[in-house]
């Protein structure tokens, strides 16, 4: 019995889940390519090696960085890495859907996401009529993507959390969710761009647990005023209680969590391993 107990303890320690504890995140955290945008622009293979060296093998790409989809897929495959989501523009889906589908399939992605809506003036002054048209388009985009084995997601950037006004009660985001078909339209929560406009990410996760499928995980420096310029820090040491947010997220349909560090390039190499360690260390 003693030997069995020692084996169980040591086995748990070696797997990072001592004494039977399981990691909170079912999937190891991924990363958004934007975090390494400067490095990727200079050296894609070398940057992929760097990303893998900190324990990340899952990437959401927001661009191809001079590669064809097939070339990028080959680089990922050679390293045991994968692309699970791609970010494209609204116009790409509106005018070049076939190209988006082909690119996603070549990369092996499951999700296609956009992060803005065509708008007059400043995106922060998002208008009700623009959001109304977007909901119609989202349903159209999502249906076509679903018919091709892909899932459409909309990524929030802040202005969605303004009062809906003429569109009804709640926020513009409520209108987006309530006027899109859950079979075709899902959402990627960027926790900072929920929190920074004055909202609580946990509230929205609890309100729409079946509509969020992806999450951008990031944090901002303590002491900064919300809504002002942000300084980004590693995931576990900022203003937001990231552990509480991620625990709430386990009750939703979110499949992939991507670290997005928007810091200046010189801070990424130091902060990314700290963020990975924090996320990997969370247990149920």
Contacts of 163 (CB under 8 A, 6+ apart): 170, 171, 172
Which residues are within 8 A (CB) of 280 and not within 5 positions of it... i.e. 6 or more apart?
A: 16, 23, 25, 28, 29, 55
* Distance in angstroms (rounded) separating the CA atoms of residues 160 and 124: 9
Nearest in space to 16 (alpha carbons), one of 222, 278, 191, 233: 278
Instruction: Write out the H or E segment, with its range, that includes residue 13.
Output: helix 2-14
CA distance 93 to 95: 6
Interhelix angle 69-78/44-53, rounded to 10 degrees, is 40
Number of residues that make up the chain: 284
* pLDDT for res 12: 46
Question: What's the confidence (pLDDT) of residue 5?
Answer: 38
Would you say the C-alpha torsion 15, 17, 20, 25 has a positive or negative sign? negative
- The pLDDT score that the predictor gives to residue 126 is 85
Identify the pLDDT of residue 7. Answer: 44
pLDDT in tens, the chain (284 residues): 444 433 434 444 444 444 558 999 999 999 999 999 999 999 999 999 999 999 999 999 999 999 999 999 999 999 999 999 999 999 999 999 999 999 999 999 999 999 999 888 777 778 899 999 999 999 999 999 999 999 999 999 999 999 999 999 999 999 999 999 999 999 999 999 999 999 999 999 999 999 999 999 999 999 999 999 999 999 999 999 999 999 999 999 999 999 999 999 899 999 999 999 999 999 99
CA-nearest of 112, 80, 51 to 276 is 51
Q: For the chain, list the domains and their CATH numbers.
A: 22-281 (3.20.20.150)
The pLDDT value recorded for residue 20 is: 58
């Amino acid at each position: 019995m003693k030997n069995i107990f020692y084996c169980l303890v040591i086995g748990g320690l070696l797997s990072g889940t001592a004494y039977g504890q399981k990691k909170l995140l079912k999937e190891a955290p991924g990363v958004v390519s934007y975090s390494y945008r400067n490095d990727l622009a200079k050296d894609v293979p070398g940057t992929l090696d760097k990303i893998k060296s900190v324990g990340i093998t899952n990437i959401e790409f927001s661009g191809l960085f001079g590669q064809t989809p097939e070339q990028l897929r080959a680089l990922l495959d050679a390293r045991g890495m994968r692309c699970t989501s791609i970010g494209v523009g609204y116009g790409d889906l509106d005018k070049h859907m076939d190209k988006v589908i082909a690119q996603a399939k070549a990369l092996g992605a499951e999700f296609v996401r956009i992060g803005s809506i065509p708008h007059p003036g400043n995106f922060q002054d998002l208008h009700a009529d623009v959001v109304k048209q977007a909901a119609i388009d989202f349903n159209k985009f999502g249906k076509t993507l679903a018919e091709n084995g892909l899932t459409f997601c909309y990524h929030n950037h802040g202005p969605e959390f303004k009062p809906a006004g003429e569109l009804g009660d709640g926020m513009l985001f409520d209108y987006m969710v309530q006027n899109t078909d859950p079979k075709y339209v899902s959402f990627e929560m960027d926790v900072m761009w929920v929190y920074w406009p004055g909202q609580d990410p946990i509230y929205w996760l609890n309100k729409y647990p079946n509509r969020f499928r992806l999450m951008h995980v990031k944090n901002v420096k303590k002491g900064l005023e919300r809504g002002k310029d942000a300084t980004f820090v590693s995931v576990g040491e900022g203003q937001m209680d990231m552990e509480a947010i991620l625990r709430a997220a386990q009750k939703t349909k979110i499949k992939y969590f991507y670290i997005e560090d928007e810091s200046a390039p010189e801070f990424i190499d130091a902060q990314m391993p700290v963020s990975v360690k924090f996320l990997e260390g969370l247990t149920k």
